[in-house]
Amino acid sequence: MRTQVGIIGAGPSGLLLSQLLHLQGIDSVVLERRSADYVLGRIRAGVLEQGMVDMLRAAGCSERMDREGLVHDGFEICFGENRQRIDLKKHTGTSVMVYGQTELTKDLMDAREAAGAAVVYEAEDVQILDLDTDTPRLIYQKDGTEHEVVCDYIAGCDGFHGISRRAMPESVLKEHERVYPFGWLGILSETKPVADELIYVNHWRGFALCSMRSMTRSRYYIQCAFDENLEEWTDDRFWDELRVRLPGEAAESIEMGPSIEKSIAPLRSFVAEPMRHGRLFLAGDAAHIVPPTGAKGLNLAASDIYFLSNALTGFYADGRTDLMDSYSEKCLNRIWKAERFSWWMTTVLHRFPEQNSFDRGIQLAELEYLTTSEPAQASFAENYVGLPFE
């Protein structure tokens, strides 16, 4: 098979890129290791920045999101007896959209299918070959046969554990990492969310977050040990621990019910640079990871795809190579700021095992300052709704 852009991974990054390229008349083939059902079974992000919402509209995939997504103008931060609303709308003039990654991925899959796109699921053992030539190739196994895709360019959209990043020469790639000494235990339940907006909680027993997917489906998280055994967390134990960490009113009014999904996510900050080597471009989680506290992972994937789709369109439409040349730098500029914000939010909201009374004092001072200073809230809100794509 011959294509212009070979895309590895059918997560949000790969599917959005393939859809945006299609709208510009650029051909692509997407190779995904898992089945479509498996991809849709992963419960992940829930908060979309305005920039990502605009991209989904531009991609022609926003109809259901515009109908079912929940626009949130603010959220709450709680610590000790304090409960403070951060007014996103007042400080930034914009909002965020609460719409699940699962739904968004489904919308992108449907759009790709409707356009008759080449998306190959259960493509095993994908390998990148001839990266140092003008026609790099992807080979993969499917149904016991080897297949080949000859490409002009390759987009590595295959997440943190994918193969693309590892295809970059070791002498070129620099990796920066921080692993946090805890994880998030999350559940999804068919219950009414405890509040209309998200609630982030710093509690001495550990962080908690009340989120949602709709007005009848809740998503809750609690900080747990990084090596926690999921089997030991019955629904009852989860609800008990969550309620201990929530402010009194919320703990009393929360609707509980059986979990329909329960999982543990490790927390990590990671950046790989550069994000381009020759004809290979990395995008999304393949190049960077943020802890979920700032709700930035999916949104960063979208901004990478914004820069990458513009760069490829510039090349195919006008023969420009400058946008491809500046791709890595442009992405990384925005990524490091989101890394800073996510690291900061994680640091002030979680309980660290080695935390001493000085560390706790600083943490409380950060939260006290944030919740009493308008300029601090304005800066926080600016980062939460997402910095501009520039």
Q: Is 72 a catalytic residue?
A: yes
Residue 285 interacting with ligand RFL (CB under 6 A)? yes
Q: How far is the CB of 124 from ligand RFL (least distance, A)?
A: 8
Tell me which stretch binds ligand RFL (CB under 6 A): 43-51, 58-66, 225-233, 309-317.
43-51
> Pick from ligand RFL, ligand PHB, none: which does 34 bind, CB < 5 to 8 A by kind?
ligand RFL
Among 8, 26, 167, 246, binds ligand RFL (CB under 6 A): 8
Which of 296, 316, 327, 330 does the annotation list as catalytic?
A: 296
Q: How far is the CB of 74 from ligand RFL (least distance, A)?
A: 16
> Pick from ligand PHB, ligand RFL, none: which does 157 bind, CB < 5 to 8 A by kind?
ligand RFL
| Contacts for 292 with CB less than 8 Å, ≥ 6 apart | 45, 184, 221, 265, 267, 342
- For ligand RFL, the closer of residues 312 and 361 by Cβ is 312
Residue 101 interacting with ligand RFL (CB under 6 A)? yes
Residue 201-230 contact track with ligand PHB, rule CB under 6 A, x = bound: ----------x-------x-----------
Q: Is 296 a catalytic residue?
A: yes
Among 15, 20, 123, 295, binds ligand PHB (CB under 6 A): 295
- For ligand PHB, the closer of residues 46 and 156 by Cβ is 46
Report the site for ligand RFL in 156-175 (rule: CB under 6 A).
157-159, 161-163
Phi-psi region of 277 (alpha: psi -120 to 50; beta: other; left: phi over 0): beta
Q: How far is the CB of 16 from ligand PHB (least distance, A)?
A: 19
Residue 293 interacting with ligand PHB (CB under 6 A)? yes
Q: How far is the CB of 226 from ligand PHB (least distance, A)?
A: 17
SS (H, E, C) the chain: CECCEEEECCCHHHHHHHHHHHHCCCCEEEECCCCHHHHHHCCCCCEECHHHHHHHHHCCCCHHHHHHCEEECEEEEEECCEEEEEEHHHHHCCCEEECCHHHHHHHHHHHHHHCCCEEECCCEEEEEECCCCCCCEEEEEECCEEEEEECCEEEECCCCCCCCHHHCCCCCCEEEEEEEEEEEEEEEECCCCCCCCCEEEECCCCCEEEEEEECCEEEEEEEECCCCCHHHCCHHHHHHHHHHHCCHHHHHHCCCCCEEEEEEEEEEEEEEECCEECCEEECHHHCEECCHHHCCHHHHHHHHHHHHHHHHHHHHHHCCCHHHHHHHHHHHHHHHHHHHHHHHHHHHHCCCCCCCHHHHHHHHHHHHHHHHCHHHHHHHHHHHHCCCCC
Which of 12, 22, 72, 221 does the annotation list as catalytic?
A: 72
Among 12, 51, 156, 206, binds ligand RFL (CB under 6 A): 12
Among 5, 126, 168, 187, binds ligand RFL (CB under 6 A): 126
Q: How far is the CB of 168 from ligand RFL (least distance, A)?
A: 14
Sites of contact with ligand RFL (CB under 6 A): 8-14, 31-34, 39, 44-47, 101, 123, 126, 157-159, 161-163, 184, 186, 265, 284-285, 292, 295-299, 301
Sites of contact with ligand PHB (CB under 6 A): 45-47, 198, 211, 219, 292-293, 295
Catalytically annotated residues: 72, 200, 292, 296, 384
